[in-house]
Amino acid sequence: MSIFSSRRSFVFLILLVPATFGAEPESRATDDSITKAFQEASGGYSVDEIVIDDLLRTNWLTAVNPSWRSLGDDWQKETLLRLVSLRKAGKLAAKSAKRGRAIDEEIVPIAEIAARSVLDEHNVSSDEMLCDPRLRAQLQTAADSIAKDLDPYEIRKAILRLRKTRQLRPELVLRIVDWDRSIEVLTQQELEDALKTSDRISHGAGVYLFRDTTGYLYIGEALDLHVRLSQHLQSSDRLALRNYLDTIADGSVTIELHTFGPKSPANELAIRRAYESEMIRSREPRLNVRP
């Protein structure tokens, strides 16, 4: 092949690019298809109910695209978020007359803890958490670690209530700083076992949250998590926490560890205490002494 024919082929390929580059995938749902599906498959329920109810969501996604299951988690997340966006923009003509079922009030503190554990780790909104099938699954796993056999619908509906009352707003101090942290949740027994080995629990800085099915119990900070948690479990100097741990033997207590890396600003005491204080303010653990 001559150099001229090679150049012609190269130019031909370049000319093809503008026709395809940036083109919208055929599988991407349009606003019209999303709106039409809502009118046809909502059953009179709200957008929120479609997001949190597995059957309603399945019916609606099928109305948008019968092949939705083959399109992946990202497609489902994007399509649900666009439905939520259309609702917020007032572009859904169909009215929502039906309400979902009521929930058990005791599930609300469990839902808050589970939601915050996911939101803290991924730094996403509650809408993103509920619309993303992967994060919904993680949310349920977090809830199941607190109490067994929980209804996913009730967990999600409790989160909607918490969101509407602004009780799930991310703490300002967590939004403005890169904390270089990892988050882990252990049962009280798992923590006791882990502390028996020198390297299982970090000797670095961190913040810890004691919690059970009723909500947050106690939040504290430490320069050395391993040492401080050992003190709490052996004979805590916080009397209310010690009495609680001594009297509760049903295995319901879990400990959430926020461990900071060596370059985290939280290695400075004042910064770490700001993190701790903001968590105490927003999560209202009942055993912390109020200033």
pLDDT digits (tens, 9 = 90+) for 180-213: 888 899 999 999 999 987 688 999 999 999 999 9
What is the pLDDT confidence band of residue 172, given thresholds at 50, 70 and 90? low
**DSSP 3-state assignment of 52?**
helix
The CA distance from 27 to 9, in Å, is 31
The CA distance from 257 to 235, in Å, is 19
> How many residues in total does the chain contain?
291
Q: Are 220 and 207 in contact (CB under 8 A)?
A: yes
Return left, alpha or beta for 123; rule: phi > 0 is left, psi -120 to 50 is alpha, else beta.
Answer: left
Helix axis angle, 73-88 relative to 54-64, nearest 10°? 90
Q: Are 242 and 236 in contact (CB under 8 A)?
A: yes
pTM above 0.85, yes or no: no
Provide the token pair at 165. 């009352």
Provide the token pair at 249. 């033997």
Q: Are 130 and 51 in contact (CB under 8 A)?
A: yes
The CA distance from 126 to 118, in Å, is 9
pLDDT digits (tens, 9 = 90+) for 33-77: 999 999 999 999 999 999 999 999 999 999 999 999 999 999 999
Provide the token pair at 252. 């319901």
pLDDT of 148: 87
Q: How far is CA 115 from CA 128, 135, 219, in A?
A: 11, 10, 17
Strands 181-187 and 206-212, bridge-based pairing:
unpaired
What is the pLDDT confidence band of residue 98, given thresholds at 50, 70 and 90? confident
**CATH class held by domain 175-283:** alpha beta
pLDDT of 120: 83
pLDDT of 4: 40
| Lookup result for tokens 């009352």 | 165
Q: How far is CA 256 from CA 117, 170, 218, 234, 263, in A?
A: 9, 17, 11, 18, 21
Sheet with 254-260: strands ordered across:
181-187, 254-260, 206-212, 215-222
Q: Are 51 and 80 in contact (CB under 8 A)?
A: yes
222 beta partners: 206
| Helix, strand, coil content of the chain in percent (nearest 5) | 55, 10, 35
What is the pLDDT confidence band of residue 171, given thresholds at 50, 70 and 90? low
Q: Are 168 and 116 in contact (CB under 8 A)?
A: yes
DSSP 8-state class, residue 195: T
